[in-house]
Chains A and B, each alone.
Chain A
Amino acid sequence: MSLVRFVTRRVLHSVPMLFGLGTLVFFLSRLLPGDPVSLYLSPGVPPGVAEHLRSQFGLDDPLWEQYLAWLSSTFRGEWGYSFAHGAPVDEVLLQFLPNTLLLGGAALVLECVLAFLLAALAVRFTGSWFDRALSSLTLIVYSLPSFWVGIMLLSLFSFSFTIFPSSQMHSVGGEQMSGLAAVVDVLKHLALPALTVAIPGTAVMARYLRTSITETMKQDYVVAAVGMGLSTGRVFRSYILPNSVGPVISVLGIEIGVLLTGVLVTETLFAWPGMGRLAVMAIFTRDYPLIIGCTLCGGFLIVAANLLADAVRAWIDPRIRLP
C-alpha cells in the first residue's frame, strides 16, 4: 500500500470518529447541570432578559432540534456562536489555537530533546547510578500531576530566583516589541509552561528510548558495523538511532494526547492564552458551542498527531504499510 493510500485511509477513518466525539460532547454538555443564561442574571435583571437570551442562543428548542441544527451547521462548516465571546466559534478558536500549538510544540521539542539527552547518558553509562536512577525515577516523574510540577517550577524559577516570568505570553508592552526582542520575550514566557508540560513525558520517553537503543545495540548488524571499524558516532547515527526511534514515534503519537491534557491545566496556571484555558472557561460558563468546538479541535489535533506519527513510522519502516 502506498503512503498516500495509507494516509487517506486513516483520514477517512478519523471522520466518523470526530463525528462521534462531537455528538457525545453535544449531549454530555447538555447533561451538565447549570444554565448558560444564569451567567447573565443577577438581582435587577428582569426575568424576560433570560428568556430572550435563551431564545437567542437557541436553547429553547427541543434537544433533538438543537442537535439537528448543530449537525447541519457543522456540515456547512459553521461551528456556531460562542455565548460568552459573542463571536463565531471558529474565529474564537483561531485566536487561541496558535498559542496552544506553540506551547504544545515547544513542549514536544523539549520533551524529545531532554529524553534523548537522558537516554543517551543512560546508555553511555549503562549500569551506573545515573542509569539506575533514571529507571527508578521514570514512574514517579510520569505520575507527577502537571499542576504540581508547574507550581514547583513557578516557586523556584519565578518567585524564588525570578529567572522566568510567572504568567502570560508577553511582558507588559511586549506586543509592541519586534524582531529578536519579541522572540526572546515570548521564549522567556514559554519556558516554564513548556517545561511543565514536558517533564512528565520526558521521563517515560527517555525510558522507552533507552530500552530501544540498548536493544538495537545488541543487533548483529550493529556488532558487524563496530567490527568493521566504523566510528562510534557513525554507528550510532547510521545504525542505532534510525532503528531505535521507530517504537518511540508510536509512543510520541499517544503522548501528544497526554500533552494536550497537560496543556489544559498548565495554561490556566501560567495564564497562557490558549485553547486549554479557553476550554476550561467554556465549561465553567456552559458555553456549549465553544465546548464542542474546543473538544473537536483537540480531537482533531490528537488524530492528526497519531496519523503523523504513523506516517513517519511507515516512512521509516516500510513493512508497516502492508494491510
Chain B
Amino acid sequence: MGSRVLRVLPCLFAIALLGCETKKEGMTGASHRPVVTIAIEGDIDSFNPLFAEDITAGEINDLLFPALVSSSFDITSGELTYGPLLARSWEYADEGRDVVFHLLPNARWTDGSPVTARDVQLTYELYGDPAVASVRQAAVDNLRRTRGELDVRKSVEVRDDSTVVFHFAAASPGQLFDAGLPILPAHVLEKLPRKDLRTDPVSTSPVSFGPFSLARWIPLQEVVLESNAQSVVPYPAKLSQLILRIIPEYRTRLSQLESGEVDVVGGIRPEDARELTRNAAAVEIISTPGRDYDFLGWNNIDPEAAATTTSATVKPHKLFGSSGVRRALTMAINREELVEAYLGDHGRVAFGGISPLFTWAYHQSMKPLPFDPQRSSSLLEEEGWRDSDGDGVLDKNGLRFSFVLKVPAGNQMRTVVAAAVQQQLRHVKIEMRIEQVERATFWQEVTMRKYDAWLAGFSVPLQMQLDDLWGSDLQKYPFNLMGFQNARVDSILAAVRSLKAESDGALLWREFQEIVQEEQPCTFLFWINNIVAVNKRVRGTRIGVLGTLHHAWEWHVDTTAQVVTAVSH
C-alpha cells in the first residue's frame, strides 16, 4: 500500500510542474494586444449613472455615457475648464442664464439609434425625479423654476434634435459643471417605470455611446470594456480592451502589479510608493495632490442635547464646545511629524478646509497652527482646565478631560495616527481612548453626531460649494459632522453661490479659511495625495485630480517599453 501511495506523489509533483510551466496570467499576448488591466478593490455598484455612487463606477460610466462637455482640471489656475464632448459647441443667452448646446450630429447609441437632444432632456428629468431617487438629484437644483415649481422638460428645452437649451435660475460658475453629467438613452429608459429603474436589468447591459462599451461584467470578478468602434464622442478608444479586475486584497494587487499581471493599481500607500520607485523599474508612480484629507473631528455640540431638540442652535459640547479648547487640541498635535512619518512627499499639513489644489481660493499666506504644547496647556488653563486632583488628567468643575476617539476599522494608517495623537495629548494631560468601529456603523453614527471625537477622512468637492460640509442648518446638512454653526460662514457660502465666476469668490474663501482657522471646528491633519502605480508600457494616461480613468480613451500601449515578463520556474 505504501508503494502505491508513493506512486501518487510524482503525479502531484507533475501537477505542480504544470503550474510552473504555464505563463503567468495576464501575460499572454499582453505586449502584443492593446489591452490594459487595472486592479480595483471592490465591485462596481451600478452601470447606470443615475445610481452609481462608487468612484470607479462613476469613472466607468463617464467612459460609457459621455457628457455634453469634457472637464479638465487646470493645476495652475486651480479651476475646472471645459471643452466639447457630446456638445460640439455652446453659447450663452439671456444674460448668461441660458446655455445653448449644439450636439454632434452623427453620434449613435450602440443599438444604432441617434443621440439627440431628447436624450439630454430625459436624462435630466430622471436625475431630478424624486421617484427615481438618483444620487445626482442635486444636479437640477440650479435650473430655472416656474412659479416655484421645477419642470425639467421646460428647464432643459429641446430646440431641435441637435440643440438643447439649459435654462438656469441665474448665471453662475457651476452651469457647465451641472450640465456635465453622463447622458442616458431616452429611447430605452422612457419606456420603463421610473420607480423600478434602480433594479431594472438595463443597468447591467447598458446601451451606450462613449469611446468604450461594456463587453462583459462578471460580478466580483471583472469588468471588461472594449473600444466602441462606432463612437464619435470623442472617438473609439485606442485600447482594444480595458479590463478592471476586482482584487480585494491590497497586497495581492501590489504583487500582481510587480509581476506585471496588472498594469494599474490605485490607492498605493506612501511607504509602498517609495518601495516601488526603488525596486520596480517597469512601474511609474503618479502622485497627485488630492482633495482628500484626514481630520480629527470634535463634536462642537452636545450630542445628547442635539438628539432631543429641533432648535436651530444647540448646546455646546462639554469638552469641545469652546474654540479655545479646540485650538489647544490642534496645537498639542505635531502634524508636521505625522506627515513626515506616514506620508512623506505624498501629503502636506492641512488647515482651513480648502485644498491647496484650488490655488485661486487657497489661503497662501496662512500657516497651520503650530505644534506648541506649552501654548496648548496655557490655552486650556485659560479655559479653566486644570489638573486639580493631581491624577494626571485635566478637569473642570469635576469633569475630567477624558474622551473616546472613534476610528473606522480597516485603515492601518489611521489606527497608527490615532495612537500617536493619544500619546501627544497625554503630554497636555488629556486622556483619550481609542475605539475602532465597523465602517457602516461609524458613518451612520457620525452623521447622527453621536460621537464626541473621531478620526476620519473626507473629500472636498470639485465644485467649490461647501454648504454640505459647513452649513449651519444641521437638519439639512448631515455631513456637517462637527455640528459647526457660524453665521458669517453661512453668508459666505450663500454669497459664493451667486457669483458669475468661481474665482470672484477668492476673497470670500480666504475669509472662510481664517474663520475656520480661528474656530478650529476640527483639527485638520493632512491632505493626502492620490497615488497610482502604472506600468510604463501604458502611455497617454491623464491620471490626476479627475480620477484614474479620466480620458482613458487616449490610453495606448507602448510595445517597445520594458514590460515585466512572466517568470517560469
Contacts and interface: CB of A to CB of B under 8 A. Distances in A.
Nearest to B460: A43
Interface in B220-274: 220-222, 243, 245-249, 252, 255-256, 259, 261
A47 B198 contact: no
Interface string B1-38: 11001001000000110111010111010100001010
B18 A184 contact: yes
B105 to A, nearest CB: 34
Contacts of B130: 48-49, 52
A154 B252 contact: yes
A23 interface: no
A34 interface: yes
B304 interface: no
Contacts of B243: 172
A46 B198 CA distance: 17
Nearest to B22: A188
Contacts of A96: 219-220
Contacts of A284: 438-440
Interface stretch (B316-324, B360-368, B443-451, B533-541): B443-451
A168 B137 contact: no
A21 B443 CA distance: 29
A166 B133 contact: no
Contacts of B16: 163
B53 A168 contact: no
B444 A168 contact: no
B218 A172 contact: no
A74 interface: no
A161 B25 CA distance: 14
B46 interface: yes
Interface string A110-126: 00000001001100110
A166 B19 contact: no
Interface in A213-234: 232-233
B308 interface: no
A285 B438 CA distance: 11
B199 A81 contact: yes
A119 B411 CA distance: 44
A258 B1 CA distance: 30
Given A120-B2, A271-B249, A34 B441 contact: yes
Contacts, number: 165
Interface in A143-195: 154, 157-159, 161-175, 184, 188, 191
Contacts of A39: 53, 440
B256 A166 contact: yes
Contacts of A161: 20, 569
Interface in B197-231: 198-199, 201, 203, 216, 218-222
A322 interface: no
A167 B45 contact: no
B134 interface: yes
A261 B15 CA distance: 27
A125 to B, nearest CB: 8
B133 A273 contact: no
A205 to B, nearest CB: 16
Contacts of B439: 284
Contact of A49 (B134, B221, B569): B134
Given A38-B443, A120-B2, A278-B220, A165 B479 contact: no
Contacts of A191: 15, 19
B1 A124 contact: yes
B219 A273 contact: yes
A41 B20 contact: no
B507 interface: no
A35 interface: yes
Q: Which of A154, A168, A277 has the largest number of chain B CB atoms within 10 A?
A: A168
Please classify how large the interface on chain A is, using the bins under 10, 10 to 19, 20 to 34, 35 or more. Answer: 35 or more
A133 interface: no
Nearest to B219: A95
Contact of A233 (B1, B137, B195): B1
A86 B25 contact: no
A79 interface: no
Contacts of B478: 41, 47
Contact of A162 (B133, B222, B248, B569): B569
Contacts of A41: 447, 478
Contacts of B26: 171-172
Contacts of B344: none
A43 B468 contact: yes
A49 B137 contact: yes
Contacts of A121: 2, 5
A40 interface: yes
Contact of A165 (B25, B199, B249, B444): B25
Contacts of A166: 252, 255-256
A285 B199 contact: no
B252 A44 contact: no
A53 B468 CA distance: 20
B384 interface: no
B413 interface: no
Question: In the complex, which of the residues A40, A170, A172 has the most CB atoms of chain B within 10 Å of its own CB atom?
Answer: A172
A47 B130 CA distance: 11
A286 interface: yes
B501 interface: no
Interface string B135-175: 10110000000000000000000000000000000000000
Given A33-B445, A47-B478, A165-B24, A38 B440 contact: yes
Nearest to B53: A40
A167 B476 CA distance: 44
Interface in B288-324: none
A233 B195 CA distance: 69
B461 interface: yes
A120 B1 contact: yes
Contacts of B20: 161, 163
A49 B46 CA distance: 17
Given A35-B444, A159-B255, A172-B37, A85 B569 contact: no
Interface string A249-290: 000000000000000000011010100011001001110000
A233 B15 CA distance: 27
A281 B45 CA distance: 12
A120 B6 CA distance: 11
A320 interface: no
A266 B461 CA distance: 37
Contacts of B248: 268, 271, 277
B332 interface: no
Contacts of A34: 438, 440-441, 443-444
Nearest to A84: B45
Contacts of B221: 168-170, 271, 273
A172 B245 contact: yes
Interface in A120-146: 120-121, 124-125
Tell me which of B18, B42, B195, B440 has the highest count of chain A C-beta atoms within 10 A of its own C-beta: B440
Interface string A19-57: 000000000000011110011111111111100110010
Given A35-B444, A85-B219, A56 B133 contact: yes
A236 interface: yes
A87 interface: yes
B33 to A, nearest CB: 9
Contacts of A163: 16, 19-20, 569
Interface string B501-521: 000000000000000000000
Contacts of B479: 42-43
B567 interface: yes
Given A171-B26, A188-B18, 7 more contacts: A45-B135, A81-B199, A120-B2, A163-B20, A168-B25, A277-B220, A284-B439
15 contacts: A33-B444, A34-B441, A34-B443, A34-B444, A42-B479, A48-B133, A52-B130, A117-B5, A121-B5, A163-B19, A172-B25, A172-B30, A173-B28, A174-B25, A273-B219
Q: Which 3 A-B pairs have the closest CB atoms?
A: A171-B25, A34-B440, A43-B468
